Amino acid sequence: MPFPAASLLGRLSERTREEFLAVGVSESKPPNVTLIKQGELDSSALLLLHGSVKVQATDPGGERALLAIRVAGDLLGEMAALDVGPRSATVISCTDIFYKRMTRAELRNFLARHPDAAIEVASMLSERLRWADRRRIEHGRPASVRVARVLVDLCESYGTRTGSRWDLGVPMTREELASIAGIKLSTAEKIIRNFQQDGLVSGRYRGIVVLDMERLRRQAEIA
């Protein structure tokens, strides 16, 4: 079963990956099911094997923000499984999904037996922190640059490339795109319309395809 190279399972050796796939209990869910709820004390981790999910959080004022998307090969809920404390975010399926649910002890025991996997998990956590840091730092940049950077990051991390086209492959509304970029919905809609007119992207309400990644990277001010 192939997994994206950027995902945790995609980084592991075949032997380590096969042993990881044997950990935990298999489960499946349809779209729009809450798998992990912000604030709860459950300490299990989920290893996503098929489909995609969205990670979101609600602030004290009740505002909900999309933080990230995760795809097959990604580990979910690892912070609560590796440390004690409540869930920091909510995870919701956005397609049919299949995954392995493992207890804190199962995950810790596996990582103790496989230092190579432990290193990749640490690397994954570091990258997720850098992603969050970039989103905060970019708040001072023009909204069009922020949207372009989010699209570049998402497509290059999780998208599928066919020739010069990059398909994000995950249902994402304009409202969710605005949330992850930290801008108003009306602003995001205007920017996407401009990108479409310029031939940078195409797509329907719940999907985006990047048509010209090189130009989009220039729009994102990425060297």
Q: 152-184 burial string, b = 16+ CB within 10 Å, else e?
A: bbbbebbbeeeeebbebbbbbebebbbbbbebe
Residue 62: its pLDDT value, please?
77
For CATH 1.10.10.10, list the domain ranges present in the chain: 141-219
Q: Distance of CA 106 to CAs 87, 100, 118, 174, 203, Å?
A: 18, 11, 13, 38, 41
Average pLDDT over residues 158-172: 80
Q: How confident is the model at residue 178 (pLDDT cuts 50, 70, 90)?
A: confident
pLDDT value, residue 223: 56
CATH number for region 141-219: 1.10.10.10
Average pLDDT over residues 202-221: 84
- Residue 173 pLDDT > 90: no
User: What pLDDT, on a 0 to 100 scale, did the predictor assign at position 42?
Assistant: 82
Cα of first residue to Cα of last residue in the chain, in angstroms, is 34
**What are 113-141's pLDDT values in tens digits?**
999 999 999 998 888 888 777 777 767 78
Per-residue pLDDT at 95 exceeds 80: yes
User: What does pTM read for this prediction?
Assistant: 0.80
Q: Where in the chain is the domain with CATH 2.60.120.10?
A: 8-134
Q: Is the pLDDT of residue 97 over 90?
A: yes
Compute the distance between CA of residue 16 and CA of residue 159 in angstroms, rounded to an integer. Answer: 25
pLDDT mean over 26-53:
92
Of the two residues 46 and 3, the one the predictor is more confident about is 46
Under 8 Å CB-to-CB from 188, ≥6 apart: which residues? 143, 147, 174, 175, 177, 178, 181
**What integer pLDDT is reported at residue 206 of this predicted model?**
67
Residue 64: pLDDT band with limits 50, 70, 90: confident
CATH 3.10.20.30 correct for 8-134: no
* Cα–Cα distance measured from residue 199 to residue 182, given in angstroms and rounded to the nearest whole number: 24
Among 24-33, 90-99, 162-171, 186-195, the least confident range: 162-171
